Amino acid sequence: MAPGEKIKAKIKKNLPVRGPQAPTIKELMRWYCLKTNTHGCRRIVVSRGRLRRLLWIVFTLTAVALIFWQCALLVLSFYTVSVSIKIHFQKLDFPAVTICNINPYKYSAVKPLLADLEQETKAALKTLYGFSEIKSRKRREAEPCSSAWEGPQPKFLHLIPLMVFDEGETSKATDFLTGQKRKVSGSIIHKAADVMHVQESKEVVGFQLCSNGTSHCATYTFSSGVNAIQEWYKLHYMNIMAQVPLEKKINMSYSAEELLVTCFFDGVSCDARNFTLFHHPMYGNCYTFNNKENETHSTSMGGSEYGLQVILYINEEEYNPFLVSSTGAKVIVHRQDEYPFIEDVGTEIETAMATSIGMHLTESFKLGEPYSQCTEDGSDVPIDNIYNAAYSLQICLHSCFQTKMVERCGCAQYSQPLPPAANYCNYQQHPNWMYCYYELHQAFVQEKLGCQSVCREACSFKEWTLTTSLAQWPSVVSEKWLLRVLTWDQGQQIKKKLNKTDLAKLLIFYKDLNQRSIMESPANSVEMLLSNFGGQLGLWMSCSIVCIIEIIEVFFIDSLSIIARQQWQRAKKWWSQRQAPACPEAPPSLRGQDNPVLDIDDDLPTFTSALRLPPAPGAQVPGTPPPRYNTLRLERAFSNQLTDTQVPAES
């Protein structure tokens, strides 16, 4: 014999396949209740009296229900987070600091491009408000505005004119340039008028955007002429600047040497070389300190003298009078790989002041899927990042809008980066873009574009809490000498004596080196869940996984096999009865003795019923259930019986 067969035979001998021991389901249940480790079940069997039994059945079922309920609660609350806040005192990385002049381009440089627009604006001011000439205090004498714009005379200015609307009759508007009345169709959209209810003004100023192909028009009106003119100016300004190449724009803006008079970081001098250029469409040249990924500065002491100290030269004379109406600089503190959204978040710096900005660093970490919807690096967000920076919610929203803009309008909006294979909108190539843009923007604000639902927040972010305070600078007594030295420092960049209103001092520093980290961690682990299950099972029923296996074994395997066995026996009996006329001599009970309760299966196999059974002719041991429900005896009786059961199965 092969050794494999030998082993097989041995296994067969030692581990014979046997069915369930109990003959009937009822018996099985009874056996289960007595032998099981769970607590309630035994009571049901042991209790005397119907009421008590009923009570125990109710209790047991309630306990089971409670277990299910509680475990369901545990499972449902599995994906919760616990938050921990930690403080570490350590050497901190200094953030990147981006500084921009509020005015994007030197007016003297950009004026030739904007000559027509300026003329138009002045004319509008004159006709609308009777304002004749800008009494520029020290502004360069207005050179004769010879239009430097080569090529065709820009007609777009006349396509979108400023108009005066009568509040009463919205369908009529006066074009201030030609004076002719125009028929206005389309809806009038008051900017902010929905919430503000400006009632006093009879006449409102605004402009109308129409799409060329269709007669759809959108009219924008403003309660104040200041807003109207600025918005209108901005619209045309973007149109013009979109056609200017980037190098030219950079040249028109301020250089780093010009903007930064002095720079001091952590007790060491720094200069323009420590700053990197970043061109922002609306703010011109911005300069970022500490932007280099590999050589990040860090701070190992708190306090203003260990931070960044810069003196900025804000040349107010070069300001564009219509585009910006405030003076100063904007500063934003951000991560090295983060895109500085100057126009959205930024601290403004006043001239002739020292602005001291104390920082506290807070780091937040969120748990991603499945705890929350945040994204680790934006790779799983279906929107291409058009910025050359790390993912953030704002980048996603802007990218989404820009992509949609390119899709719908065929060109990209000026104040955001260009997606691949697209160019900025201008009136020559895309005459419809303004209407398209405003319509799209409206939809975006009303969350109709779906950007807000697609974009998800980033899982980790650093946040610098800023405490800003102002002081007078330079002080009365130090003004004289300081301005002299600063003028020397600026040297040949500017050929004039500095005034204190041209300068702003900025101090950015860590107040202390405490870094707060807000971290989410899973509140539950699998171990905790299991031990909570164990606690629940133990509390209500003194149950364990073993009981669950028992339940599976008894209720599913054993009872099913009992049922199957009964069905099999019944079928066999039925078959033998059918065959009976053919061979009536065949003893029908030869097989039936396997299961003595075959014909009375719906009744309890009591002692009497067992006695009623026909004795099996060939069997040595009668298949009677034991008279007493002694566990010990029961088992022996069943085991004897079952060895018999096996015989016919094999034969």
Q: Which of positions 86-105 make contact with other proteins (CB under 8 A)?
A: 87-91
- Whichever of 85 and 226 has its CB closer to other proteins, that residue is 85
By CB under 8 A, name the one of 528, 563, 611, 647 that touches other proteins.
528
Q: At 298, give phi and psi (nearest 5°).
A: -130, 160
Q: Which of positions 479-508 make contact with other proteins (CB under 8 A)?
A: 481-482, 484-492, 505
| Contact stretch for other proteins (CB under 8 A) within 269-277, 388-396, 445-453, 595-603 | 269-277
Classify 201 as helix, strand or coil. coil
- What gap in Å lies between CA 183 and CA 174, rounded to an integer? 9
> If binding is defined by CB under 8 A, does position 305 make contact with other proteins?
yes
Bridge partners of 99? 287, 331
Q: Which of positions 13-32 make contact with other proteins (CB under 8 A)?
A: 14-18
> If binding is defined by CB under 8 A, does position 303 make contact with other proteins?
yes
> If binding is defined by CB under 8 A, does position 545 make contact with other proteins?
yes
- Interior/surface letters 426-446, b for 16+ CB within 10 angstroms, e for the rest: bbeebbbbbbbbebbeebbee
- What gap in Å lies between CA 283 and CA 101, rounded to an integer? 7
| Contact stretch for other proteins (CB under 8 A) within 221-229, 267-275, 453-461, 612-620 | 267-275
- What gap in Å lies between CA 14 and CA 36, rounded to an integer? 26
Q: At what angle do helices 50-76 and 526-541 cross, to 10 degrees?
A: 170
| Contact indicator for 551, 544 with CB cutoff of 8 Å | no
- Whichever of 14 and 453 has its CB closer to other proteins, that residue is 14
| Contact stretch for other proteins (CB under 8 A) within 125-133, 210-218, 351-359, 560-568 | 351-359
Binding residue count for other proteins, defined by CB under 8 A: 88
Q: Which of positions 358-387 make contact with other proteins (CB under 8 A)?
A: 358, 360
Minimal distance in Å, beta carbon 75 to other proteins? 14
Minimal distance in Å, beta carbon 382 to other proteins? 36
176: amino acid identity, one letter: F
By CB under 8 A, name the one of 468, 501, 577, 579 that touches other proteins.
468
| Contact indicator for 103, 324 with CB cutoff of 8 Å | yes
| Contact stretch for other proteins (CB under 8 A) within 537-545, 570-578, 588-596, 597-605 | 537-545
Hey, what are 500's tokens?
A: 């204190």
Among 232, 243, 330, 235, which residue's Cα sits nearest to residue 287?
330
- What gap in Å lies between CA 478 and CA 482, rounded to an integer? 6
By CB under 8 A, name the one of 85, 123, 142, 345 that touches other proteins.
85
- What gap in Å lies between CA 12 and CA 10, rounded to an integer? 5
Minimal distance in Å, beta carbon 404 to other proteins? 38
| Contact stretch for other proteins (CB under 8 A) within 46-54, 244-252, 511-519, 597-605 | 511-519
By CB under 8 A, name the one of 62, 82, 325, 501 that touches other proteins.
82
Minimal distance in Å, beta carbon 627 to other proteins? 18
Helix, strand, coil % in the chain, rounded to nearest 5: 40, 20, 40
- What gap in Å lies between CA 225 and CA 179, rounded to an integer? 18
> If binding is defined by CB under 8 A, does position 471 make contact with other proteins?
yes
Please confirm whether the linkage preceding 370 is cis (ω < 30° from 0).
Answer: yes
By CB under 8 A, name the one of 333, 353, 383, 459 that touches other proteins.
353
- Whichever of 224 and 487 has its CB closer to other proteins, that residue is 487
x/- string (CB under 8 A) for other proteins, residues 409-448?
A: ----------------------------------------
> If binding is defined by CB under 8 A, does position 473 make contact with other proteins?
yes
> If binding is defined by CB under 8 A, does position 267 make contact with other proteins?
yes
- What gap in Å lies between CA 517 and CA 365, rounded to an integer? 8
Minimal distance in Å, beta carbon 27 to other proteins? 16
By CB under 8 A, name the one of 136, 531, 579, 606 that touches other proteins.
531
By CB under 8 A, name the one of 227, 243, 304, 609 that touches other proteins.
304
Block residue for tokens 């102002």 = 470
- Whichever of 248 and 497 has its CB closer to other proteins, that residue is 497
Other Cβ atoms within 10 Å of 520 Cβ, number: 19
Q: Which of positions 173-202 make contact with other proteins (CB under 8 A)?
A: none
Output the CA torsion 15→16→18→22 (10° steps).
-70
- Whichever of 304 and 624 has its CB closer to other proteins, that residue is 304
Minimal distance in Å, beta carbon 312 to other proteins? 13
Distance linking the first and last C-alpha atoms of the chain:
23
| Contact stretch for other proteins (CB under 8 A) within 46-54, 434-442, 526-534, 559-567 | 526-534
> If binding is defined by CB under 8 A, does position 633 make contact with other proteins?
no
> If binding is defined by CB under 8 A, does position 63 make contact with other proteins?
no
| Contact stretch for other proteins (CB under 8 A) within 83-91, 236-244, 587-595, 617-625 | 83-91
- Whichever of 171 and 467 has its CB closer to other proteins, that residue is 467
Bridge partners of 88? 515
Helix (H) or strand (E) holding 522: strand 503-522
Q: How far, in Å, are 40, 67, 631 from residue 543 at the CA level?
A: 10, 10, 21
- What gap in Å lies between CA 533 and CA 455, rounded to an integer? 38
> If binding is defined by CB under 8 A, does position 620 make contact with other proteins?
no
Supply the DSSP string of 203-263, one letter for each residue. Answer: EEEEEEEE-SSS--EEEEEESSHHHHHHHHHHHHHHHHHTTS-HHHHHHHS--HHHHEEEE
- Whichever of 115 and 494 has its CB closer to other proteins, that residue is 494
Minimal distance in Å, beta carbon 413 to other proteins? 35
- What gap in Å lies between CA 155 and CA 632, rounded to an integer? 107
Residues 6+ apart with CB under 8 A from 373: 456, 457
> If binding is defined by CB under 8 A, does position 629 make contact with other proteins?
no
Task: Kindly calculate the radius of gyration of the chain based on its CA atoms and give it in whole angstroms.
Answer: 44
- Whichever of 535 and 587 has its CB closer to other proteins, that residue is 535
Q: Which of positions 571-600 make contact with other proteins (CB under 8 A)?
A: none
> If binding is defined by CB under 8 A, does position 1 make contact with other proteins?
no
- What gap in Å lies between CA 424 and CA 416, rounded to an integer? 9
> If binding is defined by CB under 8 A, does position 636 make contact with other proteins?
yes
> If binding is defined by CB under 8 A, does position 347 make contact with other proteins?
no
> If binding is defined by CB under 8 A, does position 617 make contact with other proteins?
no
- Whichever of 452 and 524 has its CB closer to other proteins, that residue is 524
Minimal distance in Å, beta carbon 449 to other proteins? 36
By CB under 8 A, name the one of 61, 65, 546, 586 that touches other proteins.
546
- What gap in Å lies between CA 515 and CA 460, rounded to an integer? 15
Q: How far, in Å, are 79, 248, 283, 465 from residue 118 at the CA level?
A: 60, 20, 19, 41
Hey, what are 496's tokens?
A: 């004039």
Name the E strands within 307-398.
308-313, 329-334, 347-349, 353-365
> If binding is defined by CB under 8 A, does position 210 make contact with other proteins?
no
By CB under 8 A, name the one of 1, 421, 583, 632 that touches other proteins.
632
